[in-house]
Amino acid sequence: MDAYAVRKMFPGNNTPQGFFSYFQHIIRREEAEEVVILKGGPGVGKSVFMKGIAGEMRRRGFPVEYHHCASDPASLDAVAFPTIGVALLDGTAPHVVDPLYPGCVDWIVNLGDFWDEKALKANRAEIIRLTQSIGGYYGHAYRTLQAAKNIYDDRAAVNRAALQTGLVNQKKSFLQDILSPYPAAKSPGRRRSLFATAVTSSGLVSFLDVLMDPVKEVYVLTGEPGTGKSELLLTLGEEALQRGLDVEFYHCPLDPVSRVEHLIIPELDLAVATSTAYHPYIREGLAGLIDMDNCLGPRDTELVDENQELFNQLLERSISFLRQAKEIHDQLESYYVPHMDFAGVADLQAKVLDRILVHAEKASVTLS
């Protein structure tokens, strides 16, 4: 799995349910050597802190997972170094992370120790106003996403009613045959849930190519909503788990619990990706291309097209609200940045890096 040197994904997402977090799947805390939980307000440099350490670890040859922020994909919510069991997490709202195993695994690093509290209090009223305004725009975005989901679900229902079950079962059997050499295991594999695509202030952002390109054997699913793509992936993923294989499930932001868009089975170096207009994926040398639209019978295509147009409008409106929230968040950061001791933050970053390198040295000794 050396090809997986750099990976990018989203541990959380903006959804019809509000902000939805899979932060617990960034790293298994009970197996981790150390989890650094960063605290502090906007503009204190948490993302820069993580990027700096990740860059240095990458320069030293360690695989790195970059977990991007769904609201601002240019920023990071976490970085993880899977081969040494270490991660750094942004533990502030909306993805609050608290220590599960204080002292023996989890270490809180508070960048708020480096701000000028007196200067911030002088801007108290404006900081409160901007923070509340950001929350309001997120509320608009989430409610609009719920409306978009309702339209999407109606479009899917039209297609689902036209599905020819026999054809769907044939395609399901084709993918299930991939697992036929692997018998049921005494213990199931482990599930990991994340997002490949996020609804962000910059629009829909996907790291599907970064995740899929290093995988040796990739199948691609295409098809309209409601043609059974997610159900097929869930079936395949659950069967892989029962065969003792670990599975990464990449969920849909419209339904972050029940709907899966892609999955990766690392031990088999195999993946199944869904390619749509919203997150297209294609490459040379696919293991197979499965078009679920071939399973559709006659249906009301005019209604399907109308729903798609309305969905696109609502999706863009929700993104516009996220964009406005980001603009106000940038204003909020402007009250913190001038009052930060970033030299002190840099010194702390160097100390954290040294501590991580100790874990890296222990891991290399163990592996040898």
| pLDDT at residue 368 tops 50 | no
Closest by CA to 197, choosing from 250, 150, 153, is: 250
pLDDT reported for residue 367? 44
pLDDT digits (tens, 9 = 90+) for 258-278: 999 999 999 999 999 999 999
43 touches 116 (CB < 8 A): no
pLDDT digits (tens, 9 = 90+) for 120-145: 999 999 999 999 999 999 999 999 99
Going from the C-alpha of 351 to that of each of 79, 305, 337, 348, the distances in angstroms are 17, 56, 22, 5
DSSP assigned state of 340? B
pLDDT digits (tens, 9 = 90+) for 218-228: 999 999 999 99
Enumerate the domain spans of the chain.
Answer: 6-115+340-367, 163-297
Sign of CA dihedral 249, 254, 259, 262: negative
pLDDT digits (tens, 9 = 90+) for 93-114: 899 999 999 999 999 999 999 9
pLDDT reported for residue 365? 54
Rounded to whole angstroms, the Cα distance separating 62 from 81 reads: 7
How many residues are listed for the chain in this entry? 368
Helices (H) and strands (E) in the chain, counts: 8, 16
Instruction: List strand residue ranges (DSSP E) for the chain, in order.
Output: 6-9, 12-15, 18-21, 34-39, 64-68, 76-81, 86-90, 106-110, 191-194, 197-200, 203-206, 217-222, 247-252, 255-265, 270-274, 288-291
pTM, two decimal places: 0.95
Instruction: Tell me the β-bridge partners of 262.
Output: 250, 273
Mean pLDDT over the full length of the chain: 95
